[in-house]
A and B are shown apart, each in its own frame.
Chain A
Amino acid sequence: MDSSGLGVRRAAGFVAPALLLIGVFLVFPALWTLYIGITNYQLTGPAAANPQVVGLDNLAEAVRDPLFTNSLWLTALFVLFSAVIGQNVLGFVLAWLLRSVSPWLRRTTEGLVLLCWILPSTVVAFLWFAVLSRDTGTLGLLLGQPETSWLVQYPMTSLVIFNVWRGTAFSMLLYTSALAAVPPSQLETARLAGASGWQTVRDVVFPHIRGHVLTNTLLISLWTANDFTPFLLTSGGPNHQSEVLPVLIYRQALEGGRLGYASAMSMLLLVGNLVIALVYLRLLRRRA
């Protein structure tokens, strides 16, 4: 196989820098995480200088740790409500409705939704503080209850709504292009038969875009499960009430200093991601 005509040696020369970067910044840290996951490596203290291999003790501890199981549950809720349901449904509804509105309204809406997506997380987090904070928050003032501290009193709900707001653009874009692939004559046939909007979506649109739905759900589920932005809004608090897995791992590693233990939990998160991916691939294959 030498499709470029360069010769294997020279081709390898061209690829080498990229492989080196991937190796140093991606493969090595991943393997390193696996390694320190089986040690009692600490940020400070004697175990920082001489970490001991403890085998699967970290994993066993994590599974029994109420903080971890709490976090796993919160992550599942976060993925389910903000990604699988929230972004998916809102993204589809936007894509579906924007087909039939005037071009300027469509472009404006798409622009605003995209803006939520492309702004840097830190900027967005500050914007949401301005909206949700106590006493001076925009939402509190609008609703006439400035004493409510939304992020403290309703931390998970706030995070879910925030993530829907933040991530819907991707689903909207994906569904917009998926809907463009549904033959108009089939939609019109349904219309002539007297099908309602919901019947049309169920009978005509959904079977066409099923693959897109699964791919989209897979991507946004993984992104949401690994999302670190919740840390910027609630830092996992109050009292671990919004401590999704990436936040827990960060706090264990850098606030608790238990690098080995946090790495083991990262491995569990990775396994969780793999399970989600396998389930979707299964569903995708069953379609074909």
Chain B
Amino acid sequence: MAAITAEGLSTVYPNGVRAVDALDLKITDGELFALLGPSGCGKTTLLRTIAGLEGATDGTVAIGDRDVTRLQPGERRVAMVFQDYALFPHMTVSENIAYPLRVRGAAKSVQRETAVRTAGGLSLGDLLDRRPGQLSGGQQQRAALARAVAASAEVLLLDEPLSNLDARLRLEARTFLKKLQRELALTTVFVTHDQAEALALADRIAVMDDGRIRQLGTPREVFQRPADTFVANFIGSTPMNLVPRGSEIIGVRPEYLSPAAGGLFTGEVSIVENLGVTSLVTLDCGEDQIGYVVPEDDEPEIGATVTVDAPPARVLRYDRETGLLVR
């Protein structure tokens, strides 16, 4: 169990790309932490730098009170689950799970015992003698998790843990992952480009762009009060309305807007998209397109003129120059 501290951390690739740029970050002990951002934002590089698979160009990484910046990956006491799970195809599930112990020269009986115990905890008990090729995607993921857990590392790193699963399984795996992390109380960092996944899983989220952290906060903070227009745009299943007004940009989520007698925006209904329980309505307001969400069976007619408003606390103002949250 350990916190992760990065100070002034930079990772520059030989081609000169600053994938991680002078970054400060503290991930507390036992936390489930998300690194969220679009592809190429440096989130995976940051994860790999914590693991030691990429060398830090500048700055330090510490796990607990150990400075691990110059340690080899194998000496850092971190375990990582890769996007493709990286199970060894020629080994059984049991041998895969026990591999970290085998490397350290643990006795065969200890290896098997640990594999059985760990697999039991991840409902893989019946699959110990199968090979990875004979497992479903979800089972493979759990086998990879079991191997990471069996390494008895202080930190668990997950690279896009859910992206290789199909949509239905993903939800199940998400719940499972959160439950497992709670049980283990293991400091866990995961990388994702899916904002919904980050919001649902994480205790705290770092939203990254261009090698830097744009915002760090709980899912609620990041969703309700995005620190700048980039985060505002990135977070949320329907993008936030960002409307320039003078020197400011007004930001308000479609979910917080509802029809009113008078209010922020008035326009003509141009598109209605069915989202299931709700529908997303797009209003043409001169140059701006405003989206708002209505309950099912409550959709306005196309072409109708509608005025929408939001509670004042839900209306955010951003500086037009810097894109930063003003209020």
CB <8 Å contact, A192 and B51: yes
CB <8 Å contact, A193 and B82: no
The chain A residue sitting closest to B101, CB to CB, is A193
CB <8 Å contact, B83 and A192: no
CB <8 Å contact, A192 and B88: no
CB <8 Å contact, A186 and B103: no
CB <8 Å contact, A183 and B86: yes
Q: Which of B3-11, B70-78, B191-199, B245-253 contacts A (4 or more CB under 8 A)?
A: B70-78
CB <8 Å contact, B79 and A192: yes
Nearest-Cβ distance from residue B99 to partner chain A, whole angstroms: 6
* CA distance in complex: A192, B80 (Å): 7
**Chain A positions within 8 Å of B84 at CB level:** 183, 185
Nearest-Cβ distance from residue B304 to partner chain A, whole angstroms: 53
**Chain B interface residue bracket vs A:** 20 to 34
* CA distance in complex: A207, B96 (Å): 14
Q: Is B146 an interface residue (CB 8 A)?
A: no
**Chain B positions within 8 Å of A203 at CB level:** 88, 91, 99, 102
Q: Which of B75, B86, B90, B147 contacts A185 (CB 8 A)?
A: B86
Q: Give A185-213 as 1s and 0s: 1 = Cβ < 8 Å from B's Cβ atoms.
A: 11011111111000100011001100000
Q: Give A57-93 as 1s and 0s: 1 = Cβ < 8 Å from B's Cβ atoms.
A: 0000000000000000000000000000000000000
**Chain A positions within 8 Å of B327 at CB level:** none
* CA distance in complex: A191, B102 (Å): 13
**Chain B positions within 8 Å of A186 at CB level:** 86, 88
Provided the pairs A203-B88, A207-B88 are in contact, do residues A194 and B82 lie with their beta carbons within 8 angstroms?
no
**Chain A positions within 8 Å of B52 at CB level:** 192
The chain A residue sitting closest to B48, CB to CB, is A188
CB <8 Å contact, A191 and B75: no
CB <8 Å contact, B75 and A194: yes
Nearest-Cβ distance from residue A211 to partner chain B, whole angstroms: 12
**Chain A positions within 8 Å of B82 at CB level:** 185, 188-189
CB <8 Å contact, A189 and B104: no
Nearest-Cβ distance from residue A212 to partner chain B, whole angstroms: 14
Provided the pairs A186-B86, A186-B88, A203-B99 are in contact, do residues A193 and B74 lie with their beta carbons within 8 angstroms?
yes
* CA distance in complex: A191, B99 (Å): 11
Q: Which of B73, B88, B151 contacts A191 (CB 8 A)?
A: B73
User: By CB atoms of chain B within 10 A, which of A183, A193, A195, A208 has the most?
Assistant: A193
- Report B113-152 residues with CB < 8 Å from chain A CB: 147, 151
**Chain B positions within 8 Å of A194 at CB level:** 72-75, 100, 103-104
Q: Is B180 an interface residue (CB 8 A)?
A: no
CB <8 Å contact, A195 and B83: no
Nearest-Cβ distance from residue A103 to partner chain B, whole angstroms: 9
CB <8 Å contact, A192 and B99: no
User: By CB atoms of chain A within 10 A, which of B72, B86, B99 has the most?
Assistant: B86
Q: Is B185 an interface residue (CB 8 A)?
A: no
CB <8 Å contact, B73 and A204: no
**Chain B positions within 8 Å of A192 at CB level:** 51-53, 73-74, 78-80, 151
* CA distance in complex: A194, B88 (Å): 16
CB <8 Å contact, A188 and B103: no
**Chain A positions within 8 Å of B74 at CB level:** 191-195
CB <8 Å contact, B80 and A195: no
Provided the pairs A193-B74, A194-B75, A195-B74 are in contact, do residues A188 and B100 lie with their beta carbons within 8 angstroms?
no
* CA distance in complex: A190, B74 (Å): 8
**Chain A positions within 8 Å of B72 at CB level:** 191, 194
**Chain B positions within 8 Å of A188 at CB level:** 51, 53, 73, 80, 82, 86
**Chain A positions within 8 Å of B102 at CB level:** 203
The chain B residue sitting closest to A188, CB to CB, is B53
**Chain A positions within 8 Å of B100 at CB level:** 193-194
The chain A residue sitting closest to B76, CB to CB, is A192
* CA distance in complex: A204, B86 (Å): 10
* CA distance in complex: A189, B89 (Å): 13
Nearest-Cβ distance from residue A197 to partner chain B, whole angstroms: 11
Nearest-Cβ distance from residue B52 to partner chain A, whole angstroms: 8
**Chain B positions within 8 Å of A191 at CB level:** 53, 72-74
**Chain A positions within 8 Å of B147 at CB level:** 189
User: By CB atoms of chain B within 10 A, which of A188, A192, A193, A203 has the most?
Assistant: A192
Nearest-Cβ distance from residue B216 to partner chain A, whole angstroms: 26
The chain B residue sitting closest to A287, CB to CB, is B90
Q: Give B101-112 as 1s and 0s: 1 = Cβ < 8 Å from A's Cβ atoms.
A: 011100000000
* CA distance in complex: A183, B86 (Å): 8
Q: Which of B53, B75, B80, B88 contacts A204 (CB 8 A)?
A: B88
**Chain A positions within 8 Å of B73 at CB level:** 188, 191-192, 194
* CA distance in complex: A87, B84 (Å): 34
The chain A residue sitting closest to B153, CB to CB, is A192
**Chain B positions within 8 Å of A204 at CB level:** 88
The chain A residue sitting closest to B159, CB to CB, is A185
**Chain A positions within 8 Å of B103 at CB level:** 190, 193-195, 199
**Chain A positions within 8 Å of B104 at CB level:** 194
Nearest-Cβ distance from residue A19 to partner chain B, whole angstroms: 43
Sorted nearest first, the 4 A-B pairs with minimum C-beta distance are A194-B74, A185-B86, A185-B82, A207-B90
- B interface with A by C-beta (< 8 Å): 51-53, 72-75, 78-80, 82-86, 88-91, 99-100, 102-104, 147, 151
- A interface with B by C-beta (< 8 Å): 183, 185-186, 188-195, 199, 203-204, 207-208
Q: A189-B88, A189-B99 are in contact. List 7 more A-B contacts (CB 8 A).
A: A188-B80, A188-B82, A189-B82, A189-B147, A190-B103, A192-B52, A204-B88
List 10 contacting pairs A-B, 8 Å CB cutoff, sorted by A. Answer: A185-B86, A188-B73, A189-B99, A191-B53, A191-B72, A192-B51, A192-B151, A193-B74, A194-B100, A195-B103
